[in-house]
Chain A
Amino acid sequence: DAKTTQPPSMDCAEGRAANLPCNHSTISGNEYVYWYRQIHSQGPQYIIHGLKNNETNEMASLIITEDRKSSTLILPHATLRDTAVYYCIVRPPRSNTGKLIFGQGTTLQVKP
């Protein structure tokens, strides 16, 4: 699996957009970009994933650069409940081991 690099921490004002970057310069052509988050003391939660095109769901948007070497997770209107550690993970499709490599992630602190 390709390695990812994320800033260790970020702050965001409540109600503003939170933009979380991720570098994955060694990503392979068939690997997807996944984002999970872990709110304190809870299990990780799937947010969104993408391959080439930008994606949007009810939780967030994912912007992947044209060369696919980096991506940005966007929480359009951050709330205090979005305070969590956000993990960017790159994986091939249909991996039998299912092993998710959670790096250190980005700790997002949403402030009132």
Chain B
Amino acid sequence: NAGVTQTPKFQVLKTGQSMTLQCAQDMNHEYMSWYRQDPGMGLRLIHYSVGAGITDQGEVPNGYNVSRSTTEDFPLRLLSAAPSQTSVYFCASKGTRGYSTDTQYFGPGTRLTVL
């Protein structure tokens, strides 16, 4: 299993540009989520999904859109990038059905700079 993969690893955008951060997992996990991590700070939840076709907002959703058309993929879209979105973005997944605990698996991250 590749686990959780994210692309690209690095990205530089200009203010106002749009882009999609890709996240995929091959563990058949129902739950997937996106976090952002700013320097010296903990991770903050942006959006999450409990299954294909179902998404919900986390604590910092503004400026980001998500969709979940398949179990494997959970892309994060920035429609009009702003310098405040400069951050490291992590995708995570976990199983839900049949699982009694809450172990989550994280991707390697995408480092985004918005100029």
Residues in A lying within 8 Å of B, measured CB to CB: 32, 34, 41-46, 49, 87, 91, 93-105
Known A-B contacts A43-B90, A44-B43, A104-B42; A98 and B102 likewise in contact (beta carbons under 8 Å): yes
Task: Return the chain A residue nearest B109 by Cβ.
Answer: A43
> In whole angstroms, how far apart are the Cα atoms of A63 and B94 in the complex?
24
Tell me the smallest distance from the CB of A21 to a CB of chain B, in Å. 19
Q: Which 9 A-B pairs have the closest CB atoms?
A: A43-B106, A102-B42, A102-B43, A99-B45, A44-B106, A98-B31, A43-B90, A46-B103, A91-B102
Q: In the assembled complex, which residues on chain A have CB atoms less than 8 Å from the CB atom of B102?
A: 32, 34, 49, 91, 93-95, 98
A-B contact count (CB 8 A): 66
> In whole angstroms, how far apart are the Cα atoms of A5 and B108 in the complex?
27
Interface size class of B (residues with CB under 8 A): 20 to 34
Secondary structure type dominating chain A contacts = loop
| Extra pairs beyond A43-B108, A44-B104 (13, CB < 8 Å) | A34-B102, A41-B109, A43-B4, A43-B106, A45-B106, A46-B105, A97-B45, A98-B48, A98-B92, A98-B102, A99-B58, A99-B59, A100-B45
Known A-B contacts A32-B101, A104-B42; A98 and B106 likewise in contact (beta carbons under 8 Å): no
Task: Return the chain A residue nearest B32 by Cβ.
Answer: A98
Tell me the smallest distance from the CB of B34 to a CB of chain A, in Å. 11
Residues in B lying within 8 Å of A, measured CB to CB: 4, 31, 33, 42-43, 45, 48, 50, 56, 58-59, 90, 92, 94, 96, 99-109
